[in-house]
Amino acid sequence: MTESVLIIGAGIGGLCTALALAPTGREITLIERDAPPPGDDPDTVFHEWKHTGVGHLRQSHAFLARLRSIIKRDHPRLMQELLDLGVRELTFDAMLSDLQRDDYSPEPSDAELTIITSRRTTLELAMRRYVGSLDNVTIRSGFLVRRLITDKGEDGVLNVRGLIGDSDGEETSATADIIVDASGKNGFTIDQLKADGVDFPEEAESAGILYFTRHYRLKPGKDEPSRIDNPPPSGDLGFLKFGVFPGDNGCFSITMAVPEVEMELRKAILNPDVFHAMTLLLPGLAPWTESERSDPVGRVHGMGDLISRWRDLVVDGKPLTRHYFALGDTLIRTNPLYGRGCSFAAVSGQVLREILDETSDPDARSVAFHQRLLTELKPYYLNQRAQDRAAIKRARQALTPDYKPGLRARLMQGFFDDGVRIALRYDTRLLRDAMRGFHMLEHPNKWLGKPANLAKVLYYWARGPKRNAAAYPPKAGPERNEMIKALSLDYQADIDRIAQGA
């Protein structure tokens, strides 16, 4: 291929795009504002890399099965380099409940349901090193993009030709046949399109939650707690979601997600002592963070401004731009609860490769890219948005002492708590189907839409809590007021604030 490609951003989105396009032979240049990783040692990179363009660099990260399968299939050398750097693979059997584990019989498809997990810095280090070694890929660090080079076609469609920015203290321009905007959630180049007259539609709303992460390292000679003999290391208490992310080289991270309305907890959790105290109050986390097993590393990293966003650059079948493709967080953002952001970017890169190879017509390319993202990604976006909206309502209701849910709300909650959740902890085949949706290998709602699967869920729901008692997990943690009192916080403050209409 003789086409040239400029990719704005060398984060996960830009790197995934380069991985997708490199085998086609196109000349690819990644433009990155930040300096490269400071060396090849994962610990040095974690502690010292100033990658300011990625505000969530030290949040917990995992690559879902969809992204892992792309890497394993198309770039086996990268897969091995990730493992050599200490990146972990979590297999399907780690997701089984105690009831399922004893009679579990692996099936060939179970290997597909494997997660890659590590510190984000280690993932990006391996990917960047691999991408930079490819003959037709160049990474230009220290290049801050200021604006796009554009012109209007006679039909009013905006042509994007290149970009202008600062490199080594001097204004520099670069042009290419294809411009890919993977500048991320903090990128501003897509906003220039509106200034140039492209009034692209977008929907955006808060995910209603904030994330707080702290890293830990196992002490010499200590192993991770058994997942069999201890309570699950993840849970949802309503006012708090939490989970452990095993990392590379003896490290792991703990992420806690707090609803926006829990102001007192949001403010306090940034205190490392409070964060650590919370882990010890949660039965699933305490075995990981007890002083005999691990030491905390660094501060608590907060992540806010979690906006669900979908942008369209094609309207009524007509492209608004030519030669320009936005992807990753630049185009689509969801609550990172299920870790789909990296997979969204990787799938978008794969889609881009397909449509660039199928046609050279710029308008057809833009339309096809848009249509396939609607098919590939919109169902997961809508699924997560619906969950976010429901969670926002529940968080406010929990702070309303006199609130009583209606019959429909009670039925829906019972269906999921006493039907879906219990069926997944009993039936391994059902769990397999559900995990395929979770990992973006199938439509997220397909598994529950199958009549046989829905019948199983209804069967377990009808059995009732008493007959299903063995399938309920142990209590994930204390009630809200109990925890907040234990942390010496004012449990009443947010209740009063909600009562006053705030």
- For the chain, the structural domain boundaries read 4-56+135-204+309-383, 209-303, 407-487
What is the pTM assigned to this prediction? 0.94
Cα–Cα distance measured from residue 485 to residue 481, given in angstroms and rounded to the nearest whole number: 6
Fold for the domain defined by 4-56+135-204+309-383: FAD/NAD(P)-binding domain (3.50.50)
pLDDT over 70 at 5, yes or no = yes
- Whether pLDDT at 215 is above 70: yes
pLDDT of residue 119: 95
| Cβ-defined contacts of 363-368 (< 8 Å, 24+) | 363/157, 363/319, 363/322, 366/313, 366/314, 366/319, 366/321, 366/322, 366/324, 366/325, 367/314, 367/317, 367/318, 367/319
The token duo for 354 is: 């397909």
Q: Give the angle 208-214-220 at the CA atoms, nearest 5°.
A: 155
Q: Work out the pLDDT band at 440, boundaries 50, 70, 90.
A: very high
User: What's the whole-number average pLDDT of the chain?
Assistant: 95
- In the predicted model, is pLDDT for residue 502 greater than 80? no
Confidence of residue 246 (pLDDT cuts 50, 70, 90): very high
- Is the pLDDT confidence value at 53 over 90? no
CATH: 3.30.70, 3.30.450, 3.40.50, 3.40.1350. Which one for 209-303?
A: 3.30.70
CA dist list (Å): 175 to 2, 26, 189, 274, 290 = 14, 14, 15, 50, 54
- Reported as a single tens digit per residue, the pLDDT across 264-317 is 999 999 999 999 999 999 999 999 999 999 999 999 999 988 999 999 999 999
Q: What is the pLDDT of residue 168?
A: 86
Confidence of residue 30 (pLDDT cuts 50, 70, 90): very high
- Residue 436 — φ and ψ, nearest 5°? -65, -35
pLDDT band at 1 (very low <50, low <70, confident <90, very high): low
Distances (CA, A) of 17 to 23, 75, 108, 230, 378: 11, 13, 29, 40, 19
Average pLDDT over residues 208-236: 93
118-128: per-residue pLDDT in tens? 999 999 999 99
Q: What is the mean pLDDT of residues 444-453?
A: 96
Q: Are 123 and 79 in contact (CB under 8 A)?
A: no
E-assigned strands of 331-399? 332-333
Fold agreement between 4-56+135-204+309-383 and 209-303: no
**pLDDT at residue 452 in the model:** 96
